Amino acid sequence: MTELVFYLFAAVAVLSAAMCILQRSPVAALIWLVQTMLALAAIFVLLAAEFIGVIQVLVYAGAIMVLFLFIIMLLNLGGRRTTDIRGPAGIGAAVVVVGLLLVELGALWAYTPARLTREVAAAAGPLEAATAFSGGRAVLEETARRGVVGAVAEPLFRTYLVPFELTSILLLVAIVGAVVLAKRSV
């Protein structure tokens, strides 16, 4: 049942992504992208990451996409009828590059969990295979112990505290940069 739902949402995500890059109007492309992100949020929930799914809807499909929509409205691009898709040369280049990329990613995909386990076990390092691979239950155990939000919050505010604080500096720099760039007289 879970797999059926997964493949349903995966099909929705792929089709919406394809429609997103083929739509002539930026607004239509954006709506298809939002559709892709909502399907991905459902897939996150299926992969036992409920909190990430909620954040995906709130932050990505909500805030960031509305930002894009604001810019499209501000520049008055909604009703353009001329296409901006490149000609046959561009599409040929895209086919070649994407084909190569898919071959490479397929080679990476051959890294099945069993092979990962074997290689982690063989390599001497801080990661022990027995603790790292608890039969795919690692996340479920953590969630059962601390709750859906607590499982994210605990490593975020302990192990990754310094990167978390650096993130706030990054956001501050981005805000100042955006204001400086968008100001009329620089």
* 85 binding other proteins? (CB under 8 A): yes
* 170 binding other proteins? (CB under 8 A): yes
Query: CA–CA distance from 1 to each of 8, 13, 49, 76 (Å)?
Result: 11, 18, 18, 45
Residues between 114 and 133 that touch other proteins (CB under 8 A): 116, 132-133
The total of other beta-carbon atoms located within 10 Å of residue 70's CB is 10
Return the residue of 93, 115, 128, 147 that touches other proteins, per CB under 8 A.
93
Q: Answer for the pair 59, 26: CB distance below 8 angstroms, yes or no.
A: no
Among residues 58 and 124, whose Cβ is nearest to other proteins?
58
CA 48 to chain centre: 16
Return the residue of 8, 73, 78, 91 that touches other proteins, per CB under 8 A.
91
CB of 30 to other proteins, least distance (A): 6
Is 2 strand, coil or helix?
A: helix
- Residue with tokens 């298809």, as numbered in its chain: 32
* 147 binding other proteins? (CB under 8 A): no
147: left (phi over 0), alpha (psi -120 to 50) or beta: left
- In this structure, which amino acid lies at residue 81? R
Return the residue of 102, 118, 119, 147 that touches other proteins, per CB under 8 A.
102
* 149 binding other proteins? (CB under 8 A): no
* 165 binding other proteins? (CB under 8 A): no
* 12 binding other proteins? (CB under 8 A): no
- In this structure, which amino acid lies at residue 92? G
By CB under 8 A, how many residues form the interface with other proteins? 84
Return the residue of 1, 78, 86, 118 that touches other proteins, per CB under 8 A.
86
- Residue with tokens 């604001």, as numbered in its chain: 70
Among residues 52 and 121, whose Cβ is nearest to other proteins?
52
